[in-house]
Each structure stands twice: as C-alpha cells, then as structure tokens.
Amino acid sequence: MVATKDRTIPTRGGDAYGYSVKGGVRLFKRTLVALTAAGLAVPAGTAGAVAIAGVASHHADNREGLDGDGKLRCEKGAFPFDFAAAPTFADIGKAVYAVDDNTVSLDNSGGTRLRAGTLEGFEDGLIWIRV
C-alpha cells in the first residue's frame, strides 16, 4: 500500500542481528555463523544451512539445550579468516565461500558452499573479508 503519511519506524545500523541457536550446537566467538531454513544459528559449513548470518560476537554453547534455547548475536563487517588456498591481490573484490566456521575459499565447490562475503584486502599478514 502506498504511504499516505509520514512513517514512525525503528532504525538500526544493520551490522548486528540476534538469532536463536540450534540445539546440540556450540558456536565460538569470531567464527562464521550460518542459519538453517528455520532461522537457527549453526556453524558455517553445516550441512543444510541456507545463509551466512555473520560473525559470532560471543561464545554460545547450546549443546545441552533444545532448538532456540541459546541466543547469539552476529555481526557484519570486515574480519580476517583463513583461506583454503592463498588468494592473490588480483582476487580482491571477488566472492568468498564458507568451507567451515573458520575457513573460506574462492572456490564455490560446485555451488555447495554458502557465500560468506567478499575478499576485502590484505594487511599485517591477514586476509580480510567483508561479511
């Protein structure tokens, strides 16, 4: 429906969101987090995950809980991650894909990996990606 008056809505920076954690799962701080189709947080690289949520802002241990018992805040931004194969400067700006919760790759493995972000740059011996 077309607006007929000013809207009063909340705003946010869009760089952090909270998710419920899947039961039986442990997520480590500053690792890549994926979501299931039900919107539950799991480590990136988990079979059946449908999207990358971001990077865990804290440790979340729901190994003894049921789906949704644990909560996790995920951040977006630039973070350093390990690469499965070393990229070059020519790869800056290319898409990167989650191999697991700590490793990314330029290889999408035939479409089976979730896009984690974009290769942002190199600094101080680290490889940075924009999640």
Q: What is the pLDDT of residue 51?
A: 97
Q: How far, in Å, CA of 129 to CA of 75, rounded?
A: 13
Written as tens digits, the pLDDT of the chain (131 aa) is 898 999 998 888 889 999 999 999 999 999 999 999 999 999 999 999 999 999 999 999 999 999 999 999 999 999 999 999 999 999 999 999 999 999 999 999 899 999 999 999 999 999 999 99
Global pTM exceeds 0.85: yes
Distance from chain centroid for Cα 90: 24
What is the pLDDT, as a whole number, of residue 10? 84
**Which residues, including other chains, have CB under 8 Å from residue 126's CB and lie 6 or more apart?**
80
Q: How many Cβ atoms are within 10 Å of 63's Cβ, its own excluded? A: 11
Can you give the pLDDT at residue 76? Answer: 96
Predicted confidence at residue 11, as pLDDT, reads 81
The count of other CB atoms within 10 Å of the CB of residue 128 is 19
* Ranges of each domain in the chain: 17-75, 78-130
Confidence (pLDDT) at 64: 96
Which residues, 6+ apart, have CB-to-CB distance to 123 below 8 Å? none
